[in-house]
Structure 1
């Protein structure tokens, strides 16, 4: 079949000729104009963006002429492929470039991590609230973990806030026209708290943008507030490990010695304890007691121990005037002294102080547990100077069982006697029998029998008889001329103690010690006897008859204290971020806005339309264009080629036909 040439030829872009020479209808004419605008690259009014050499040049017209060797289908295919290459491919490329912004999956995952981090902070502090500081590997602290979780929450929340604020920008321009400069304000807000603060103060963000800016600013305080949730306090914690103190069940320390009147002598630790109690004057007679308290603060339940007790009684009411027998019936009263029925006396008025000791005899003149009885007498009270006030005090030392309440505070031992049990049994040991038991037994409160061995008791009595010899202190004029080498006065001291002063002559050092305490302290004699008893008790508790007693050790422990008020802000911030993300998702769907978020390609592919760009061509500097952008209001709209662009408000409100004709007029001009 031979090829027949077409009867009608026309150039692409020219108006086709109607076969019946009938003018086209207005509708047909409008369709043809739109067809020429959209698909005819040779039309003199067509877009010039395809020529990179000149923005206003037109593409060279392509005249489609049929020859005997071409078919009309070939020409149609060529034109269609060119149009496809210019329009279909760029659009598909844009969709591919923006595909990563087409979902909220990444933001939802980031927000889930933020919620998990804040929930972990709450869970961790709840777990350790009121507990000791955790001992984690590599010296990791609770604050370090909280700081790490807070950092994770801040970082993941910033992803949601950045995407949400960026999407709020497109929603804002989709819903209504706004100044073009708001585009930059939203972009700054999506990058950090400073931009959010500027968006908030300028009130350009609308409801969604303002909400997101507030959340971004509050997020700055999430880390500091999270670390303020957990604080550290100290408390006392008791433990039954590391608190041991001895108590004596018995004491049998003694050595056989012919030098003692009783045949026994004390062991050296007991002698040292007696001297320590008499002369140390440290007010800590139990300082040598060996105890264990690892924390420095310990306490024990009251316990019984074999001890030495003292007892002092004021017998001043029993004093009587005493004159030596050699003075006859008319004695000189200035040469007379005082005496008590127990047998102690002051020889003359010149003796201001005396000590008289009584050691229990083998015939049982005192309770069997007694070690010594001492009577102290004087003519001056410890606090009344230069006045004659005769007085007398009787003190004794004896074995007993004490109930002690012991504690260690800051490494110092404190003990109080809460109960004392004595044995007043009188025993005659003048004719000892091999079958007799002359030990001292004392029954404690827990039905435990405590024992003081007979040898230990006799050793103390014999030694006390040697060191507690009778003696006095004298301050007379005649004594001033005596030599310190005189045998009847062993100690000469010029001292001032209490109200007493001047040169004083003492028979023994022990008399000096009691004299000193009497004038230095109120109740000084009773105090010194107590120190002596406690020091001897300490020696009993340090000997082989002692057993350990466990107590509780109190340590100062740091523990976690949670202030739940500071947890409110982190929870509020992360929940607000969740609400902001949900609001962004809902408003994106309801406003039919493309999900572009912070994509830079979206601004390139869907930028300003031609007329809006021409508004800014007259300005050269960026600052001037920014100022002008504050006055130009734009809105997202879809043009005749299904392109979403930012355009001025009046262009966005026109239909496709009016926008087309207006654009043609601008191009022809």
Structure 2
């Protein structure tokens, strides 16, 4: 039993051992528990057998007690009979302890096997996990067309993953995470990111009316640069700046001034608060987010849920102002069973006010973007610790003005854009890339993910921001290296857990059997001259047996039942010759 306790104490809380010859920990416990059980029963049975002689040495007893004590020393059934007998004869108390020990040894195997359980535990492995982060961001060299000019340094990778969202069929790319196991965790860290926010207060600026104005949203209008070419049409719906000289229809429909027939319908409009061509500002560049410095895009999304019939009924539209801007995010990341979970616990935006970042030349379309994005969060994680000691310096995250401008050019694709329902077509269409000199792109649209019931404006803008953030983090730094954060990989291993409460019964039986044995030895030592040390042996009876008077009560060929009856009636005592 000491070997079992010692081995279990050594392996408690450790990984399941792999022993030679395929022997398991349960096998070891099983073998030694059976040895312990047998070693426990043997001296208990022998001591109980000795009590058979001691019982008859004091005074005359029922001869049946001899069989009861003898049966108790030979197994559980006899021990049970002895305990039942002890309830009637108070003098069998000490022998009852031995009988109880034998009975309680029956469930010992169960208790030994219940001692050990094998929980699966996540343990750290040597191979590290990595997840990308971004300190700075620069565009990938390429070409793009803007203002009828072929320019370089277009952000090709960002365009490939973000532009599909503008056609309402985008997919957020996965981060290049390396996790050598099925479970990895990372300490919190900061990364350069794109943050988003939406506000619905712009709704109060919308007014319903029917006016004659610019039909820039019509599907067949493709020359967005030449604003004087937009047709004048009579249109009804919800306008921005309705009473100004240039009201902007946000959602509504064309009305024939003669027949009052309804023509093309504008279901949703995405309107930039900084013009994509002239960089003219509306509401000083923002209505609800004036505190956001150097936004990538600040735009309105206004549309009428419910489709064509709802627009014809002039139902109130859903209006949001949303902004995309550079920021840093504090990320808590984990990877479990193939799924990456990221929790943004904090964000940091530059709140230092400065002049409008565009500087214009003689031509309104000839401008320079002056803003170099610089972000230094006051509280940071994973900052390098200086060799000289002291507090680690704060990292400055940033985007150069060239890259920032390319990102703005990319979002010019989405705002301005329109979702329309032409009277000549059978369904909705999305018109995008309106600032492209080649001409706007028009595609059929199955679902409008900007509006209910198929989508949600705030959530969709968040998806665009997440896509841009993942692209930035997956992109290499200026020197071509990928900035990563090292985390911990965990592997599930089987450990040994010892439930020490199940050891109580074996230890209690061990102590009681020892006490029972010591008391029996002490008593037998005092009575050795009168009784002798016979234990469970029957030789003393064979050599001596009952006297003549006792034998006359039972005939030689009597049956067992008759002999038992006589034994209950006959009282005997052990006496020396």
Q: Settle same-fold status: TM greater than 0.5.
A: yes
Match of 2:302 among 366, 373, 377: 377
Q: Partner residue of 2:162? A: 274
Q: Deviations over 1:251-273 (max 9, x none)?
A: 22322326454613545542332
Partners of 2:448 and 2:492 in 1: CA distance: 45
Partners of 1:180 and 1:347 in 2: CA distance: 112
Cα distance, 1:593 vs structure 2: 1.5
Q: For residues 399 and 134 of structure 1, do their structure 2 counterparts lie closer, same or farther at Cα, with a shift above 3 Å needed? A: same
Q: Deviations over 1:288-341 (max 9, x none)?
A: 1122345655443332212223343442334466844699xxx99755862348
Partners of 1:316 and 1:325 in 2: CA distance: 21
Q: For residues 343 and 538 of structure 1, do their structure 2 counterparts lie closer, same or farther at Cα, with a shift above 3 Å needed? A: farther
Q: Partner residue of 1:643? A: none
Q: For residues 246 and 240 of structure 1, do their structure 2 counterparts lie closer, same or farther at Cα, with a shift above 3 Å needed? A: farther
Cα distance, 1:212 vs structure 2: 1.6
Q: Partner residue of 2:19? A: 137
Q: Deviations over 1:42-73 (max 9, x none)?
A: xxxxxxxxxxxxxxxxxxxxxxxxxxxxxxxx
Q: For residues 618 and 279 of structure 1, do their structure 2 counterparts lie closer, same or farther at Cα, with a shift above 3 Å needed? A: same
More helix by share: 1
* 1:338 counterpart SS class: strand
Q: For residues 623 and 578 of structure 1, do their structure 2 counterparts lie closer, same or farther at Cα, with a shift above 3 Å needed? A: same
Cα distance, 1:558 vs structure 2: 6.3
Question: Map of 1:160-179 to 2, 5 A cutoff?
Answer: 160-179=43-62
* 2:300 counterpart SS class: strand
User: Which shifted more, 561-570 or 571-580?
Assistant: 561-570
Cα distance, 1:440 vs structure 2: 3.1
Q: Partner residue of 2:545? A: 607
Cα distance, 1:453 vs structure 2: 4.5
- Tell me the matched-pair count: 488
Partners of 1:375 and 1:149 in 2: CA distance: 78
Match of 1:472 among 398, 402, 418: 418
Q: Deviations over 1:505-545 (max 9, x none)?
A: 543568959943223268x2222121111101101111112
Q: Partner residue of 2:152? A: 264
Question: Map of 1:377-456 to 2, 5 A cutoff?
Answer: 377-378=302-303, 386-389=313-316, 392-408=319-335, 411-417=338-344, 418-422=346-350, 426-428=356-358, 440-445=372-377, 446=380, 447-456=394-403
Q: For residues 185 and 120 of structure 1, do their structure 2 counterparts lie closer, same or farther at Cα, with a shift above 3 Å needed? A: same
Partners of 1:396 and 1:319 in 2: CA distance: 19
Cα distance, 1:199 vs structure 2: 2.4
Question: Map of 1:438-587 to 2, 5 A cutoff?
Answer: 440-445=372-377, 446=380, 447-465=394-412, 467-468=413-414, 470-475=416-421, 479-480=422-423, 482=424, 484=425, 492-493=426-427, 504-508=428-432, 515-520=448-453, 524-545=456-477, 546-552=482-488, 564-587=500-523
Cα distance, 1:360 vs structure 2: 5.9
Residue 339 (str. 1) matches residue 226 (str. 2) = no
Contact 2:240-2:249 at 8 Å conserved across structures: yes
Unpaired segments ≥5 residues, structure 1:
1-116, 485-491, 494-503, 640-669
Q: Partner residue of 1:316? A: 203
Q: For residues 368 and 206 of structure 1, do their structure 2 counterparts lie closer, same or farther at Cα, with a shift above 3 Å needed? A: closer
Contact 2:124-2:490 at 8 Å conserved across structures: yes
Q: Partner residue of 2:536? A: 598
Q: For residues 269 and 176 of structure 1, do their structure 2 counterparts lie closer, same or farther at Cα, with a shift above 3 Å needed? A: farther
Match of 1:152 among 25, 35, 39: 35
* 1:394 counterpart SS class: strand
Let me know the Cα RMSD of the aligned residues. Answer: 4.3
Q: Deviations over 1:143-171 (max 9, x none)?
A: 44444443222111111122112211122
TM-score normalised per structure 2:
0.70
Q: For residues 542 and 172 of structure 1, do their structure 2 counterparts lie closer, same or farther at Cα, with a shift above 3 Å needed? A: same
Match of 1:184 among 67, 70, 79: 67
Greater relative contact order (Cα 8 A, min sep 6): structure 1 or 2? 2
Residue 285 (str. 1) matches residue 172 (str. 2) = yes
Q: For residues 603 and 551 of structure 1, do their structure 2 counterparts lie closer, same or farther at Cα, with a shift above 3 Å needed? A: same
Contact 1:400-1:442 at 8 Å conserved across structures: no
Q: For residues 541 and 303 of structure 1, do their structure 2 counterparts lie closer, same or farther at Cα, with a shift above 3 Å needed? A: same
* 2:330 counterpart SS class: strand
Q: For residues 637 and 559 of structure 1, do their structure 2 counterparts lie closer, same or farther at Cα, with a shift above 3 Å needed? A: same
Partners of 1:605 and 1:242 in 2: CA distance: 81
Q: For residues 407 and 364 of structure 1, do their structure 2 counterparts lie closer, same or farther at Cα, with a shift above 3 Å needed? A: farther
Contact 1:619-1:625 at 8 Å conserved across structures: no
Which entry has the higher C-alpha Rg, 1 or 2?
1
Q: Deviations over 1:528-578 (max 9, x none)?
A: 121111101101111112411133556777666655544332222222211
Q: For residues 156 and 276 of structure 1, do their structure 2 counterparts lie closer, same or farther at Cα, with a shift above 3 Å needed? A: farther
Q: For residues 144 and 175 of structure 1, do their structure 2 counterparts lie closer, same or farther at Cα, with a shift above 3 Å needed? A: same
Cα distance, 1:374 vs structure 2: 3.2
Contact 2:131-2:486 at 8 Å conserved across structures: yes
Q: Deviations over 1:418-459 (max 9, x none)?
A: 21223765445668xxxx996833222243222334554444
* 1:520 counterpart SS class: coil
Q: Deviations over 1:346-396 (max 9, x none)?
A: 188413422234566798977995444433334669998834436654334
Partners of 2:130 and 2:144 in 1: CA distance: 39
Partners of 2:350 and 2:251 in 1: CA distance: 37
Partners of 1:604 and 1:429 in 2: CA distance: 124
User: Which shifted more, 170-179 or 289-298?
Assistant: 289-298
TM-score normalised per structure 1:
0.61
